[in-house]
Structure 1
Amino acid sequence: MAPPPHAPLTPSQTAIIKSTVPILAAHGKTITTHFYASVLRSNPSLKSVFNNTHQATGHQASALAGALHAYASHIDDLGALSPAIQLITNKHASLCIQPAQYEVVGTYLLQSMKSVLGDATATPEVMEAWEAAYWQLADVLVAKEDALYKSTKGWDGWRDFRIARKERESVDITSFYLEPIEDEEEEMWFKPGQYVSVNIFVDELDGGVWQARQYSLSDAPGKGYLRISVKREAAIEIGEPRYMAEPGYLSNILHDRKEVGDVVRVTHPFGDFYLEEGEGGDDDGPVVLVSAGVGLTCLMSILKTVVEGGSKRPVAWIHGARDERSRAFRGQVEGMKGRDGGLKTVFFSSSPEEGEVEGRDYDVKGRVDLDRVGKDVLFTDNDKALYFVCGPTQFMLDVESKLKSFGVSGDRIKMELFGTGGVPKV
C-alpha cells in the first residue's frame, strides 16, 4: 500500500528548483555517480536491484542525471513528464521496487548533492527545496507503482518458472518457454508488447548477486507459458571477470547455463509499449510493425495476438537483420501470410551472405529504409493505422521522423524505449 503523500512544494521552493537547472546540467553526472557509489557501499543488498552493467559503464548515472535535469526543468509542469513517468514506474514495478527503498535513495541522493555542490551552492534553502521536490516525485512514482502492483491480481514479487523448452530462432536468438511451477494450468495474460524481468543468480559477481534483466514477451497472451526470445551477445566468456560488465553477460548465462528443467525467477509482465484491445478506433485500422535486430521480439507478440485472435485488420511486418541466419521467426511469420485481412512483409538484409538470393531469402538489400517500402505496405494514407517501432534508439528516431514526413501523426507512432536512459522526449 502506498504511504500518505508528503507536503507539496511551496511556490518559493518551486522557484529554487528551477534556479538549479543550470547546476544540474553542469554537475548532475558527478552527483549521481557519487550517489550510486555511496548508496551501494552502505547498502550492498541494493546490488541486486541496480544493473551491474549499467553501473560499470556509467549508463545508470547518466540516466539518473538526465531524469533529475528533466524533472527540475518541468517542476511546474509535471504533465510534460507523463511519458517518462510511465516508463519509469513500469520498470520499477518489474523490478519489485518498494516504498521503503525510496527512503534510502532519497537520503543518499540528497547527501550526494550536498557533498558535490558544497555549502555555498547547496544552502539549507536549496536542500530543503530539493528534499520537498524529491518526495513530490517519489509520491507520484509510489502511487503509480502501487496501482500497477494491484493490477497483477495477486502475483506479488518474484515467481518461480521452469524452463519448459529452449528453441533456437536464429544464429543468435533463442526462445525460452517459461511455465509457472505453481498453478501449472494458469493462463498467462498480459498486453502484447510488454516484458518481464528475469532474475538470475550470478555466482562470479561480488561473491554472488541476483541480477535482473527485462526481456520482451514474444508470443501471444493467454497461453500456459511465457515466452522470451533472448539474443546472445558474441565474444563473452562466462565467468571471466572482464566480461561481467558487458551488456550481454546475463543473456549468455541464459544461453549457456540454463537448460530445460531449470528454474528462474520472473515478475509479472509490465511495460507501457503494447497494443491495447480496441486501439485504433473500431479495431479495423492497419497495424504496421517496424523492427531491426532483436527489436522484433515484442512486435512478434503483437503480430501473433492480432493473427491468432482472429482479427481481420491488415498487418504489415517490416524487419531488418544482418542476413538470413540472423533473421528470427521467419517460418512463423511466413506461416501467417494466408490469414484473412492479409499480412504484408518486407525483409531488409544489410549484409546478405554469398548464395542468398534477393526475392527468395530477402526482399531488399540494405538497412531498413521506409523510402523503399510501398505505401500499400506502410498504410500512410490510412488515418487509422498504428505504428509500433522497436530497435536501436537512433533507428527508432529515424523511423519516427520518416513516418512523420509521410504525414503520420505522432500519437499513432509507438516506440519501445527499453534501455536505462531511454527517457521519452518532453
Structure 2
Amino acid sequence: MLTTAQKSIVTATVPLLESGGEALTTHFYRILLDEHPEVRPLFNQASQANGEQPRALANGVLMYARHIDRLDALGDLAAQIVSKHVALQVLPEHYPVVGACLLRAIREVLGAEIATDAVIDAWAAAYDQLATILIGAEAAVYDQNANAPGGWRGARAFRVERKEAESAEITSFYLAPVDLQPVLDFEPGQYISLRLDVGGEEVRRSYSLSAAPNGRTYRISVKRERGGAVSNHLHDHVHEGSTLEVFPPSGAFTLSKGERPLVLISGGVGITPTLAMLEAALETERPIHFIHCARSNDVHAFRGPIDALAEKHAQFERFYCYEEAPHADTDAQPHAVGRLDVEMLAQWMPPSTDDVRDVDAYFLGPKPFMQQVKRSLRALGVPEHQIRYEFFGPASSLD
C-alpha cells in the first residue's frame, strides 16, 4: 500500500527524473536485457539502439510520478500502455523482474545518498501500485479476447494466404487461421503482433491491420526498412503458405463514431491503419478527406484502390503530396510536390467556421511529419480533443 509519505517521496523525485530520466532508463534496460534474456522478445532492439524506448519509458515514469495522487489525470496513457502490453503478451510474471531491475537502476544511477532506503521503498510501493493496475487491466483484455467470437489467448497459427506487393517498399500479407475457424473482430486502427524466429532469436513485432474486418482473415502491409531485421525477414523469407504465430488484435488508436467530417492524414507506411478507418467511414454519410504523403510515386502504396473508392463515393475526397516530382508523362500525378505544410492542409480540409475547423483528424507517419501535422492542425483551429495520433514505435511527445 502506497502511503502518503511515500507519495511525497515519489513526487519529490520528479526533478531528478526530468534531469536524468533517460540515463536511468537506459541503465535499467541494460540490466534487464543483459541479465534476463527471457524478456528480450518483448522489446524492440532497434528502438533500444536509437534511444526511443528509454525516452518513452522515461516519459511514462515521469508522468506517473507527477500524477501519483491523481492517476485519472494520466488520460489515455494507461490505455496505450495496456494496449502495447497486450499486443506483445506481457504477463504478470514479467512485472517482478522489471520492478527489481528498475529499483536497482535507481539505486545505481542516483547513488545511495540520494536513492536512500526510504526512496527505494517508496518507489517499490509505487511500482507495485502501477503493476497491480496494469495487470488487472491486461487480464480483463486477455479474457475479453479469449471469450469473444473468433477470439483466442496467446499465439495462434495463421497461414500466409496471399502476398502482394503494394509499392516498391510495401508488401501486404493476407493471413488466414490454420484451424479455419473465425477470427476475432477488431476496431479500425488496431494492429496484430507476430512472434517470429529471426536468425535463431525470438522477436515480436506489431503491424497495423490494413483492411476492414471480415471475420475470416487479416491483412497487414509491411514496409521494408533499411537494416530492419524483421521487415526484411518478412519480405525475403515469408511466402505464401508460410505459417506465422499471431497474437490477437490490440490498440487504442481507433476510429470513433461521429458525424463530423473525418480527416485522415498519413505519411509513408502510416497509411496502413487509415485504410481500415476509411473503409469503415465509407459505410456512413460523413464527409471524408484523405490526405497521403509519400516520397515518390514508386513508394506510394494503395493509390489505385483509393482512387477507385473516390470514384464511387461522393463524400470522399483524396489528396496526394509527393516529395519528388514524378515524370511528366505518368498518369500518377500528385496534387502537390514538396512537404505537407499548413497551407496545403488549409486547402484540403473542410473550411473553418469562426476560426474553428470542426473535424475529427487522425494522423500517423514518421515523427517529424507528425510534429508538423500536429502544429498545422492546431494553427488551423482543430480542437485539441479532436486531434488523434499513434506511434508505430514507442510513444513520445510531439510538442
TM-score band by shorter chain is: over 0.9
Aligned counterpart, 2:232:
252
Deviation, 1:190, is 0.3
Aligned counterpart, 2:251:
271
Aligned counterpart, 1:297:
272
Aligned counterpart, 1:372:
344
Aligned counterpart, 1:156:
153
State the TM-score, normalized to the length of structure 1: 0.87
Deviation, 1:375, is 5.1
Greater mean alpha carbon deviation, residues 384-393 or residues 263-272: 384-393
8 Å contact kept, 1:312–1:341: no
Deviation, 1:228, is 0.5
Secondary structure of the 1:18 match is helix
8 Å contact kept, 2:10–2:122: yes
- Identify unmatched segments of 5+ residues in structure 1: 1-6, 237-247
Secondary structure of the 1:418 match is coil
Secondary structure of the 2:265 match is strand
Q: How does 1:91-106 map to 2 (within 5 A)?
A: 91-106=84-99
317, 321, 326: which one aligns with 2:299: 326
Quick check: 1:409 aligned with 2:383? yes
8 Å contact kept, 2:350–2:357: no
Quick check: 1:81 aligned with 2:74? yes
Percent of aligned pairs with the same residue? Answer: 38
Aligned counterpart, 2:286:
313
Aligned counterpart, 1:221:
213
Deviations 1:109-158 (CA, angstroms, capped at 9, x unpaired):
11221122222111111111111111111122112212221221251111
- Identify unmatched segments of 5+ residues in structure 2: none
- Structure 1 Cα separation of the partners of residues 52 and 348 of structure 2: 40
8 Å contact kept, 1:312–1:340: no
Aligned counterpart, 2:106:
113
Amino acid at match of 2:252: D
Secondary structure of the 1:75 match is coil
Deviation, 1:10, is 1.6
Q: How does 1:40-79 map to 2 (within 5 A)?
A: 40-79=33-72
Deviations 1:348-368 (CA, angstroms, capped at 9, x unpaired):
1110233356x8521111112
- Structure 2 Cα separation of the partners of residues 226 and 17 of structure 1: 44
Deviation, 1:67, is 1.9
Q: 1:223 to 1:333 in 2, by over 3 A?
A: farther
8 Å contact kept, 2:357–2:380: no
Quick check: 1:190 aligned with 2:162? no
Secondary structure of the 1:328 match is coil
Aligned counterpart, 1:243:
none
Q: 1:301 to 1:313 in 2, by over 3 A?
A: same
Greater mean alpha carbon deviation, residues 54-63 or residues 40-49: 54-63
- Structure 2 Cα separation of the partners of residues 66 and 373 of structure 1: 30
Q: 1:402 to 1:264 in 2, by over 3 A?
A: same
Q: How does 1:139-218 map to 2 (within 5 A)?
A: 139-152=132-145, 153=147, 154-182=151-179, 184-203=180-199, 208-218=200-210
Q: 1:128 to 1:260 in 2, by over 3 A?
A: same
8 Å contact kept, 2:194–2:205: yes
Aligned counterpart, 2:120:
127
8 Å contact kept, 2:370–2:398: no
State the TM-score, normalized to the length of structure 2: 0.92
Amino acid at match of 1:249: A
Quick check: 1:339 aligned with 2:332? no
Amino acid at match of 1:210: E
307, 323, 333: which one aligns with 1:361: 333
Deviations 1:368-392 (CA, angstroms, capped at 9, x unpaired):
2241245574354486631111112
8 Å contact kept, 2:47–2:393: no
Deviation, 1:209, is 1.7
8 Å contact kept, 1:417–1:423: no
Deviation, 1:306, is 2.2
- Structure 2 Cα separation of the partners of residues 414 and 62 of structure 1: 21
Aligned residues, how many? 393
Quick check: 1:352 aligned with 2:325? yes
Higher relative contact order (CA 8 A, sep 6+): 1
Deviations 1:206-250 (CA, angstroms, capped at 9, x unpaired):
xx221011111100012421100111124x4xxxxxxxxxxx221
Q: 1:261 to 1:76 in 2, by over 3 A?
A: same
Amino acid at match of 1:209: E
Aligned counterpart, 1:399:
373
Deviation, 1:58, is 3.4
8 Å contact kept, 1:389–1:415: yes
- Structure 2 Cα separation of the partners of residues 147 and 139 of structure 1: 12
Greater mean alpha carbon deviation, residues 22-31 or residues 325-334: 22-31
8 Å contact kept, 1:188–1:222: no
- Structure 2 Cα separation of the partners of residues 361 and 286 of structure 1: 26
Secondary structure of the 2:75 match is helix
Secondary structure of the 2:48 match is helix
Greater mean alpha carbon deviation, residues 166-175 or residues 25-34: 25-34
Aligned counterpart, 1:37:
30
- Structure 1 Cα separation of the partners of residues 358 and 382 of structure 2: 10
Quick check: 1:387 aligned with 2:361? yes
8 Å contact kept, 1:166–1:177: yes
